[in-house]
Amino acid sequence: MTVPTINNPNLIRKGAYINGEWITEAAKRFDVTDPANEQKIADLPDQDLSVVDEAIDAAAEAFKTFKKTTPRQRATWLRNLYNLMNENVEDLAKIISWENGKALSEARGEVKYAASYFEWFSEEAPRIYGKTIQPGNPANRVFTVYQPVGVCGIITPWNFPSAMITRKAGAALAAGCTLVIKPDSQTPLSALALAYLAEQAGFPKGVFNVVLTHTQTPAFGLRLCEHKKVKKISFTGSTNVGKILMNQSASTLKKLSMELGGNAPVIIFKDADLDKAVEQALASKFRGLGQTCVCANRLYVEKDILEEFETKFAAEVKKFVVGPGLDSATTHGSLINERAIAKVEEHIEDAISKGAKVVVRGGKRSDLGPNFYEPAVLSNVDSSMKVTYEETFGPLGAIIPFDDVDQVIEDANNVDVGLAAYVFSKNINTIYKVSEGLEFGMVSCNTGVFSDSATPFGGVKESGFGREGSYLGVLDYLVVKSVIHSVDF
């Protein structure tokens, strides 16, 4: 077993974090394993459902005073947290790579990206402004104020175990909300490291809470959704689970943010800078070995450049070095588990059986470990194949030829989800036509990597609602209060 050398051993925590206390005891425990070799790397408490109530009560009590802190004070704490993350980049990256399997270089990028949200929202906290309004009655005056919504339940996935928390927590803390965070049981160590740093940054006890479970994940989610003291749920994950959480939240009419599944099209026109399109499509498709909600799932390539694109794309894929994430030579690490491999293989076999052409076969690398998979590339893909209407969430590049702009827009839109899409062309008219015609919350033009703390992140259709990051991100954690005065002149 490869154990990373951690400069700050305090970042490796052995329990949940509730009301400023580290809780290590529980009747049951669960193992966290390294997906590269499936060896145990941590032993954590598999907490009872009652712990969720304790965390919610602690957050609700802390909210009474935290909501009254000044925006500048909250900004200072957030800035402290940003600085602490940057001081511990290498350690935090190793923890991500260890529990998630991604290459260390990608993990470093995630930590820096994750930290940027604390910086961004430290700057947004003092800029939460209300407005003055003149109503129809000339004797009345109206002004609005934004107030924090209250206790927020944050439920996050395994693929970005740090960034999926900070993107939500940064906005919530800036607004004056308190948090109960439920990380994925496959990758809880990053969440606990963030809790430790939040403690060091000066946040009062009860503001930042992390609960842990492996066997009772659905029950934990249900309790967060149905508890009256929880006023907001923010979830990143699959569309199916998002629908369940939304239904469970109906009884209390909670405020919700849902960042759900995607099926991103990349549309490459013959007038695009082909080398750049190849480079950026690769970056989008194989980031985290395709285990991202915004990664390219369908590569639409205009027929005139199809053969050249395939050749160049395949040549670059063959340069990848798949291996243990903590190995400095590795460009792409392991998948998260065997179910991820099964989904990729299902899509590959389905496409080949229906006439897809193998450009790069890829396949399991059992010599490296149980969850390693060489990326695959297929061409001659069409709409009858599963990869076009299901999200693969793995290292399969599916190339689909097209020759009509209106048809490719229609094909790209012919899915229930609408998170991210990509367009490559040098023609500004094409860029505008296609980007405005695509039914997706984010359309990235001539670049395959667009995520930034300043950019609104979110989807449409069954990819969810709400926006994370940017000046809009904090609004999802606020409610508007109108104050009306009658003035006697």
CB 98 within 8 A of CB 110: no
CA within 13 Å, CB half, 243? 8
CB 197 within 8 A of CB 184: no
Cα-Cα-Cα-Cα dihedral sign, residues 61, 79, 122, 291: negative
Block residue for tokens 């000046």: 471
Phi, psi at 214, each rounded to 5°: -120, -40
Q: Which helix (H) or strand (E) holds 268?
A: strand 264-268
Block residue for tokens 């209390």: 252
| 259 part of the active site | yes
φ/ψ region of 443 (left if φ > 0, alpha if ψ in -120 to 50, else beta) reads: beta
CB 289 within 8 A of CB 302: no
Phi, psi at 134, each rounded to 5°: -100, 110
CB 174 within 8 A of CB 74: yes
Q: Exposed (0-12), middle (13-18) or buried (19+): which is 87, by Cβ within 10 Å? A: middle
Distance CA 69, CA 74 (A): 7
Distance CA 23, CA 19 (A): 10
Catalytic residue among 199, 259, 302, 462: 259
Report H helices in 126-273: 163-175, 189-201, 217-226, 239-248
Using alpha carbons, select from 390, 450, 457, 455 the residue that is nearest to residue 419.
Answer: 457
Residues with catalytic function: 259
